[in-house]
Structure 1
Amino acid sequence: MHSRVVGIPDLDGTEPVAVVIDVMRAFTTAAWAFHRGADKIVLAADAGGALAIKEGNPGWLALKDGAPAGGFDLVNSPGLIQEADLTGRTVIQKTTAGTVGALAVVEARLALCASFVVAGATARVLADAGADPVTFVATGEDGRAAEDLACAEYLDRILAGEPRDPLPYLHRARTSPAADDLRRGRRRGAHPTDVDLCLEVDRFDFAMKVGLEEGMAVLRPLRTRPDAVSDRAR
């Protein structure tokens, strides 16, 4: 399999298969939202766009990163989302990097959003689709975020059929500047458990596929084969 890892600025919209990675925290939060019952997640480019979508769709919930803000119902924190009842709800998600990266590749033949919590399922979808080549998009820090690069390399090793002990990759993520910022309270709208929740490999047995629906970028869970799924996901 051929692959490359790029940042958002390097995308040109021609990638046939893309995996958009935001470990801390957009696509860990999204996975938890699905686990808590969300039906779909609509991705927004900015806060104004998110609120405009919400205004046109009563009952939808808006989520953003950073501190709580007027008009938004949820914040981009897996530690907080894991307590929410989202059964049957539609969530509108806007974040600084993750949703921006997903919107950049939404028209790809296959576009997935990923983090460590859905790594195994993401790799299975790619393998089942015979995806080659694959573009991994490390969204944080214009492609330099240590946790996103570690997750991309971990996925690449799985697809290559090589030994894939997750611990070295998790160590890189755990000691990243983003993890340090979260632990030290430098990011608003965070929960003390966020870092640990972002590092639970294969916590869930679904991947997350993004595509256009009625002109909106919509993220949905994509169930995969149950074999080799961590017991924690059951």
Structure 2
Amino acid sequence: MRTEFTGTPGTPKAPDVAVVVDVMRAFTVAAWAFRRGAERIVFAGTRQEALDLKARHPGRPAFQDGAPVPGFDLANSPARLRSLDVRGRTVVQKTTAGTAGALAVADAGLLLCASFVVAGATAEVLRRARPETVTFVVTGDGGRAAEDRACAEYIADRVRAAGADPAPYLERAGRSDAAARLADGVRRGWAGVHPEDVAMCLEADTFPFAMAAARVDGHLVLRPVDALSGEPVRTGPARPAV
């Protein structure tokens, strides 16, 4: 498997296989939403689109990055997500890095979204797909995010060797500017940042599912998939979908 690492601006329009990485915090939040029972996540290109989607479907919680914004239910914090009930729900998500990166390669033949918590499962999907080339999209800091690059390299190494040690990659991510900014936000009391966010983003291989995105009814929709079969799975207790 040949690997390519790129930022969103330099990404080919439609690579055969793309893995979009956002560790802090979009795709850690997405994975935890699925673990807590969310059915699917719809990516929005703008905050207004996200709010419009929520208005048309009032039962859908909407997530965004940055400081809390009126109309949104979560400011992209995996720790604060624990206070929301997303069981059986469709979530709307809009972030500057992660969801934007996924939308940029929405026409990839296979599109996976990843963070450390689903890294091992993502590697297993790639191992079974056996692609000639995988394009890893590093979304943070204009494609220079150390935590996203470390996660992408860990996934690539896990494809080659299932027993690859995540520790060196987690250490690099822990020294990243993004981790420092979140820690500073905690010290400053920024709304939307939780003291446990960084630690939750630096847990490797927490969940057995990967996350695959595809177009559905004109929107890019993310779902959890089984690492072995690639088929959609239900990851938490369900209630009637909305």
TM-score interval for Structure 1 and Structure 2 normalised by the shorter chain: over 0.9
AA aligned to 2:124 is R
Answer yes or no: is 1:196 the counterpart of 2:199.
yes
C-alpha separation between the residues in 1 aligned to 2:134 and 2:53? 31
Answer yes or no: is 1:217 the counterpart of 2:220.
yes
AA aligned to 1:2 is R
Aligned to 1:229: none
Instruction: Give the drift of 1:142.
Output: 1.3
C-alpha separation between the residues in 2 aligned to 1:204 and 1:90? 20
In the alignment, is the contact (CA less than 8 A) between 1:118 and 1:204 conserved in 2?
Answer: yes
Instruction: Give the drift of 1:172.
Output: 0.5
Aligned to 1:126: 126
C-alpha separation between the residues in 2 aligned to 1:74 and 1:143? 25
In the alignment, is the contact (CA less than 8 A) between 2:14 and 2:109 conserved in 1?
Answer: no
Among candidates 194, 204, 209, match of residue 206 of structure 1: 209
Answer yes or no: is 1:54 the counterpart of 2:68.
no
Aligned to 2:106: 106
Answer yes or no: is 1:184 the counterpart of 2:184.
yes
Mean Cα displacement is larger for which, 97-106 or 75-84? Answer: 75-84
Aligned to 2:74: 74
TM-score scaled to structure 2, two decimals? 0.90
Q: For structure 2, list consecutive stretches of 5 or more residues without a partner in the other structure.
A: 230-242
C-alpha separation between the residues in 2 aligned to 1:126 and 1:13? 20
C-alpha separation between the residues in 1 aligned to 2:4 and 2:132? 11
Instruction: Give the drift of 1:162.
Output: 7.5
Aligned to 1:7: 7
Aligned to 2:97: 97
C-alpha separation between the residues in 2 aligned to 1:163 and 1:200? 16
Secondary structure of 1:70's counterpart equals: coil
AA aligned to 1:203 is T
In the alignment, is the contact (CA less than 8 A) between 1:36 and 1:84 conserved in 2?
Answer: no
Aligned to 1:33: 33
Secondary structure of 1:75's counterpart equals: coil
Percent identity over the alignment is 55
Aligned to 2:63: 63
In the alignment, is the contact (CA less than 8 A) between 1:17 and 1:110 conserved in 2?
Answer: yes
Secondary structure of 2:222's counterpart equals: strand
Instruction: Give the drift of 1:161.
Output: 2.4
TM-score scaled to structure 1, two decimals? 0.93
Instruction: Give the drift of 1:163.
Output: 5.8
Secondary structure of 1:184's counterpart equals: helix
Instruction: Give the drift of 1:166.
Output: 1.0
